[in-house]
Amino acid sequence: MTRFDPTTGDERDERVDASIRRKSLLYCWSCSHTSPADEDGDWTRHTRANAVAYVCPDCGTTIAKRPRWDGSASSRRPVVSR
């Protein structure tokens, strides 16, 4: 779907606009690969007992380790391994 931009007089693809506005991008410092941090991204995710490691699909560098959450939107508590 396109949208008219009155500031430039051009029509723009709304999907492109949404990808430009995306805030949660991860960057690989080893090979400069860039992709969204959410499920739309292509990062390899390795789930551990209480964390998720994000690994670059191009070079294999682990770029982030984030806590796993228990899944409830209200609690936002990390999963504790037992």
Q: Residue 55: exposed, middle, or buried by beta-carbon count in 10 A (0-12, 13-18, 19+)? A: middle
Looking at residue 20, its pLDDT comes to 54
Q: What is the mean pLDDT of residues 10-36?
A: 73
Which pLDDT does position 18 carry in this prediction? 55
Boundaries of every domain in the chain: 2-67
Q: Across the chain, where does the E strand assignment appear?
A: 2-5, 10-13, 25-27, 34-36, 44-47, 51-55, 62-67
Say yes or no to pLDDT of 22 above 90.
Answer: no
Write the pLDDT tens digit of every residue in 24-80: 889 999 999 999 988 889 999 999 888 999 999 999 999 989 898 766 555 455 555
